């Protein structure tokens, strides 16, 4: 499948954060009117619908369905995100740097279980999830639901590079 994460239209770009907020249930910036606009856009934009479903899947897999639905966990994440987003520029930088660290370790070592990536990069919580979300949605990494105990991430950039580099 062709990935078009980098050539995303600017009309869609402005909904990026809204989609993650909506999926995570974060109301810090997602006002009722923004949510309404998002839902209208989702209704007619297949690309954003794809992002939306990817995010839901990532979130459920990364956090665990039961964990992600617990009110105490939701409240904790909401507080973290509010703190995080009080400085959007710093947040963007932190997510970018987290995404870089995750991608680098995957390129260096190949497919890895999520818990091990977290352990070795020292990344945790919201920046980690958000970074992985962006890597997966940008087509740089695939999230593999394992039939054993651990889900893993596999880098895609290497394959793409090899395929296009020949
Ligand atoms: Zn869109």
Q: What's the 91 CA to ligand 1 centre distance in angstroms?
A: 22
Q: Are residues 108 and 36 in the same domain?
A: no
19 and 76 co-located in one domain: yes
Which two tokens mark 120? 């070795």
Measured in angstroms, how far is the CA atom of residue 47 from the centroid of ligand 1? 5
Q: Three-state SS string across 68-131, please?
A: HHCHHHHHHHHHHHHHHHCCHHHHHHHHHHHHHHHHHHHHHHCCEEHHHHHHHHCCCHHHHHHH
25 CA from centroid of ligand 1 (Å): 19
Is 40 found in the same domain as 111? Answer: no
Between the CA of 105 and the centroid of ligand 1 the distance, in Å, is: 31
Print the domain residue range for 161. Answer: 87-166
Number of domains in the chain: 2
Q: Compute, in angstroms, the gap from residue 55 CA to the centroid of ligand 1.
A: 14
pTM of the model: 0.60
DSSP state of 117: H
Residue-by-residue pLDDT tens, the chain, 166 positions: 444 444 556 788 888 888 888 877 777 778 889 989 998 888 888 888 888 877 777 777 666 666 667 787 777 777 766 766 677 777 778 888 999 999 999 999 999 988 899 899 998 777 788 888 888 877 888 887 765 556 788 998 655 444 444 3
Co-location of 71 and 98 in the same domain: no
CA of 14 to the centre of ligand 1 (A): 9
Residue 144 lies in a domain: yes
């Amino acid at each position: 499948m062709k990935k078009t994460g980098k050539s995303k239209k600017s009309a869609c770009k402005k909904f990026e954060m809204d989609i993650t907020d909506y999926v995570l249930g974060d109301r810090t910036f997602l006002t009722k009117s923004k949510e309404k606009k998002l839902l209208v856009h989702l209704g007619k934009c297949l690309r954003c619908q794809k992002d939306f479903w990817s995010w839901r899947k990532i979130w459920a897999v990364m956090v665990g369905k039961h964990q992600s639905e617990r009110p105490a966990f939701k409240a904790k994440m909401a507080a973290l995100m509010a703190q995080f987003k009080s400085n959007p520029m710093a947040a963007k930088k932190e997510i970018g740097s987290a995404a870089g660290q995750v991608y680098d370790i995957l390129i260096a070592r190949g497919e890895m279980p999520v818990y091990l990536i977290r352990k070795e990069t020292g990344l945790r919580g919201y920046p980690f999830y958000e970074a992985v979300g962006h890597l997966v949605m940008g087509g740089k990494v695939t999230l593999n639901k394992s039939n054993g105990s651990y889900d893993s991430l596999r880098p895609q950039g290497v394959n793409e590079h090899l395929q296009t580099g020949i």
